[in-house]
Structure 1
Amino acid sequence: MCGALAGLTFAAKDLFDVAGLPTAAGNPDFAGWWGLPIQDAWAVAALKKAGARLVAKTHTHELAYGMTGINPHFGTPRNPRVPAGIPGGSSSGSAVAVAAGLVPVALGSDTAGSVRIPASLCGVYAYRPTHGAIPTQGVVPLAPGYDTVGLLAAGPEVMERCARVLLCEALPVVRFERAVLLRDALELCDPEAHAAVERVAQRLEALGIAVEEKSLGLLQEAREAQRVLQGAQAWGFHQGWLEERQPRLGEDVRKLLEMASRLTAGEIGRALSEQVRLRAEMGALLSPGTLVLLPATPSSAPQVSTLHDPEKALAFRWRTLSLTCYASVLGAPVVSVPAEQPGEKPIGVQLVGPWGSDMGLLNIARQAFK
C-alpha cells in the first residue's frame, strides 16, 4: 500500500467510530444508544488513507470523563512500566498499547489532559493539537469547547508523521527562542517532576532556547473555570440518553455528571466570563517564539490501590488538572515528552506553544528527545 504512513499500524481509542464496530466509550450501555457506525471517524479514515492499518480499538476511562484509566465495567489496562500503577486516562488503552510495544502510535482524545496524562504515566510521547486543527467528526464528544483529537506515540518521529497527515492545514514550523518555566506549576509537584522539568529545560538550552522562570498564579482559577464549563457541556451532551436509558455508570463518573447537572446558569456565566480573562492573561506568555514548560503530571503513576482512598484520589485529580488546564483553557497545542532517567518510573513534561505552532513543537520533540 502506498502513502505517507504505508506499513504503519495504529490503534484508536474507543471513542472513535470504526465502520461496522460498536463505539462503547467505556460504558456497557452507550453503544446501543449511539448506534453501529457506518463510517470511520475522520481521523481514523485519514490515517488509513495515508496507508496506516488499524489493528485495535482501545480502552478508555468511562465516557472519557476521568483521568485515572480505572474502568469498573471493562477493566483497567495494566501500566507496562509501573506494576499495579494506574495507566492514566482517559486515553488509557492507547497509552498502554504504545508503551507495551503493541503499536507505534495510537489515536486518543484530549479534553483536559487525556493523552498527556497517560503518556506521562506510561512513558510515551503525546500530542494535543491546537483546538480545532484536527476534525473531531465521528468521535464521541465530552466537551466540544475543549475536545481535541490527540496522538500517543513511541517516538517523536512517528508522532510527527501522523500529525502531518491529520492536520487539515499545512502549519508553519515556528522557531522557538524562549521557554517560560512555570514556578507555580512546580509547587504542585513531587521532586521527581521537578527533576524531569529541569532535564527538559537543559535539552532546550542545548538547542539554543533561553529558559526563564515565572509564576503565573492562575492555574487553580483556570482549572475551576474548565471544571464548570466542561461539566456543563458534558451534561448537555449526555443528558438525553442518561435520562432516557438510565444506563449503568461507574461511581466516579456518576458523581461528576450529577455535579454537572446541578450547575446553575449563574455559575456557568461566571465561568465563561472568567475564561475570557484567563485566556487573555495566560495567553500573554505565549508570544511568538515562546513556549511554556510545565510537568504533565505531579508525580509518576500512583498505585491503583492508593486511589481507592477518595481523598487521595481527589488530591491527585486536582493537582494533575491544575497542570493540564493551561493548554486546555487556551486551546493551545502541546507536546508531552518522557523525561525520566533510565530505571526510573515514567514522568512526562509538557511543551505548550502559541496557537498554530504545532509543527514547531513536534520539530523540537524530534530534535531534542528522540
Structure 2
Amino acid sequence: MRYRSGSVHLPGYINSGTGVCLDCFEIEGYVAGFGNPDWKRTHKAASHTAAAVKALLKQGATCVGRTVMDELGFGVTGENLHCGTPINPASPSVVPGGSCSGSAVAVSAQLVEFALGWLARDPHILSRVGDALLPAAACGLRGKRQLVFADDCFELLKIPNQKTVDVIENAVRTLPYGFQPPKHINIGQYICSNVPSLKEFCEPSTKLQEGKSALKALCTVMLLLQRYEFKANHEDWVNTVKPKLGLEVSTRVLQAVNFTDDNIKSLYIVRTEWRAALKNLLKDTGILVLPTMAGHPLKRNSKQRLSSEFEDKMYAFVSIAALSGCCQATVPLGNHNDHPISISFVAAHGSDKFLLRAILDMYSAVQEQIVLASKLALPPVIDRDVDTSELLKEKFFVDNDTSPFLVGNNQVLCGSSGKLGQPVFKQAEADCDQALLLDKKNVKAYLRRGTAKESVLNYQEALQDFRHALALEPQNKTALAAEKRLQKHLSRNNWRAEILLGQLLWQETLQVFEAVKLLLGAIQYGNV
C-alpha cells in the first residue's frame, strides 16, 4: 500500500472510524501530490482542508494516512511510475485498478474502514460516510425501487449471468418489500433514441449496431470533455514544468494539451441531454444496473497494455454515470475464474443517499446469492452466434454427463443419462407468462419463454414464441437465429420421423410375411 503518516481526529458520529484520503484532497499544512512528484515539488502546502475531509473529521473520523493516486487522475490500472503498484489483496497477481488504487487497496486489505474517494469496507460504513458528507436534502425517496438492467452491457462480458444479473435479481426477489419487479433494457438503443445531439459523434452503423455506436460515441464525448477541462486547468503547468510521466499517462496528457475546442458547445449539449434522458429513465426510484469492468484486469508488472477493445468497453461503462453526473456505487460479487468481479448501480443526479440506502437494504440478500452462485459449476459463456441445437444434440448423447451447460443465458442441469432434468424452466415459463399478462409487447419475455421451451425440447411452441418476438422486433438478432435454428431442427425431426415410420412399416410387413409363412407350414403338415 502507498501510505503516508499523519492523523487528526475528533470524537463523534462516525465513532472514530479510521480512514485514508487520496492525495488529490487538500489537508491544511500538507501538499496534495496528485500522484506525481513534480506536481508535489511545484506546489505549496494547502492553507485549508478540503470540505469533504473536514466534514468527516467533524463527525469523529480518524484520518490515519494518505494514499497516492494514479498520475494526475489519468490512470486506469493502478500503476504509478514513481511509487510502484500497490498489491491487490483480492487477487495479488493482477493490477488493482485506478485511479484510486491506493485507497481501494487500503480498504480491501482491511487496513482502514473507509477511504476518500468513496470506498468502504461494507455498505453500513459507506452509508455513515454518506450521512456525514451529503446534505439532508439529498436523501431521496423511500418509494418502491426498481432495478433496470442494461442487458446489452452484460452481453459484452465473458462472465455467466448466473454470477452477475441473476445474483441481483434473485436477491431482490427474496426481499419482502421495497422493490418492484426488475426491468431490462438495451441502454445503447435508449441513448441513440433519447440523446439527439450525440448523432454527430456516432460512427456510421447498421440498425443492429447503432446501440453499440451510441455507447462508443458517449464515451468519446466524455473523454473529449475530460481533455478540455484538464487543458483549461493544467495546460500552463504541463508546458512550464514538463513533468516526468508514465508512458500511457503521458500519451493522455499530450492528447489533452493538444485538444482543440472547436466543438466544445456540442459536448456540453450532449452532457445535458444525457443527464435529462437518464433522469427520465430512472425517475426518482429507478436504479440502473451495469457491469463495472469490461473484463479481467492486466497481470501485475506485465508489459502487456490494455487493448483498444477493452478500453472502448471500459470507458463505455464508465461514461454512463460519469458524463451524466449521476451517482454510482460498486458492489463486489465474488470471483469468476480466479478473478474478482463486481457490479455497479447508478441512480439519478442528486440521488446519492437514495442509492446508498437501496444498496444497504439489498446487501445481505446479495451476499447470500453470491455464496449460492459460487457453488454452481458454471461452464464458459457460449457465443450467442453458435448453433445452440448442435450443442444440445451433443449433450443428449453423452452418457453419465452431470455437468451444467448454457442455453442462451440459462443454466441447464443434465442427469446421468444425459437428458435434461426439470430445473428452472417451468418457473421461467410461469414468470414469462405473468410478464406477458402485464405487457403483451414484452419481447424479452417471449425470448426467455421460447428459450425455456426449446430447452425442454418443446420446439413447436418455442418457435411460436420467437416468431411473436419477431413480429414486435423484426430485426431482433436472437429471435432470427432461434427461428432459423428451430426450423432446421423441426425439418430434421420430420425427416427422422418419416424414416422411422418407414422402418416400422417395413418391420410390420416382415412380421406379416413371417406369420403367413408359419400359417402355410401349419396347413402343409395338417396342423390347421
The equivalent residue for 2:92 is 83
Distance verdict in 2 for CA 1:280–1:51, change over 3 Å: closer
State the 1:11 CA deviation. 0.3
Tell me the distance in 2 between the aligned counterparts of 1:154 and 1:337. 10
1:324 is the counterpart of 2:292: no
The equivalent residue for 1:357 is 351
Contact 1:200 1:349 in 2 (8 A): no
**Gaps spanning 5+ residues in structure 1: where?**
109-150
The equivalent residue for 1:60 is 69
* SS of residue matched to 1:291: strand
The equivalent residue for 1:212 is 183
State the 1:344 CA deviation. 5.0
1:292 is the counterpart of 2:288: yes
State the 1:194 CA deviation. 6.8
Tell me the distance in 1 between the aligned counterparts of 2:265 and 2:161. 35
TM-score, L = length of structure 1:
0.82
TM-score, L = length of structure 2:
0.59
* SS of residue matched to 1:51: coil
* Greater mean deviation of Cα atoms: 56-65 or 257-266: 257-266
State the 1:221 CA deviation. 1.9
* Greater mean deviation of Cα atoms: 260-269 or 55-64: 260-269
1:269 is the counterpart of 2:236: no
Tell me the distance in 1 between the aligned counterparts of 2:69 and 2:79. 9
Contact 2:18 2:64 in 1 (8 A): yes
1:236-266 Cα deviation digits (max 9, x unpaired) = 1111111121221111111112112222222
Read off the aligned partner of 1:355 and give its amino acid letter: H
* Greater mean deviation of Cα atoms: 89-98 or 273-282: 273-282
Which of 124, 134, 158 in structure 2 is aligned with 1:157? 124
1:184-209 Cα deviation digits (max 9, x unpaired) = 21132221577223212322333333
- Number of equivalent positions: 326
Read off the aligned partner of 1:214 and give its amino acid letter: I
User: Higher RCO, 1 or 2 (CA under 8 Å, sep at least 6)?
Assistant: 1
State the 1:10 CA deviation. 0.4
1:153-182 Cα deviation digits (max 9, x unpaired) = 110000000111011344234234321111
State the 1:342 CA deviation. 9.3
Report which of the two structures shows the higher radius of gyration computed on alpha carbons: 2
The equivalent residue for 2:241 is 245
Tell me the distance in 1 between the aligned counterparts of 2:136 and 2:171. 29
Distance verdict in 2 for CA 1:276–1:39, change over 3 Å: closer
Distance verdict in 2 for CA 1:71–1:104, change over 3 Å: same
Distance verdict in 2 for CA 1:263–1:341, change over 3 Å: closer
State the 1:41 CA deviation. 1.3
RMSD: 2.1
Contact 1:186 1:194 in 2 (8 A): no
State the 1:274 CA deviation. 3.0
The equivalent residue for 1:30 is 39
Read off the aligned partner of 2:165 and give its amino acid letter: V
Tell me the distance in 2 between the aligned counterparts of 1:104 and 1:189. 31
State the 1:39 CA deviation. 2.3
- 1:1-370 equivalences under 5 Å are 1-108=10-117, 151-174=118-141, 175-191=143-159, 195-207=163-175, 208-217=179-188, 218-306=214-302, 308-310=303-305, 312-340=306-334, 344-370=338-364
Contact 1:197 1:339 in 2 (8 A): no
Read off the aligned partner of 2:130 and give its amino acid letter: A
Tell me the distance in 1 between the aligned counterparts of 2:220 and 2:337. 36
Contact 1:176 1:360 in 2 (8 A): no
Contact 1:2 1:51 in 2 (8 A): yes
- Over the matched positions of the two proteins, sequence identity in percent amounts to 29
Contact 1:105 1:152 in 2 (8 A): yes
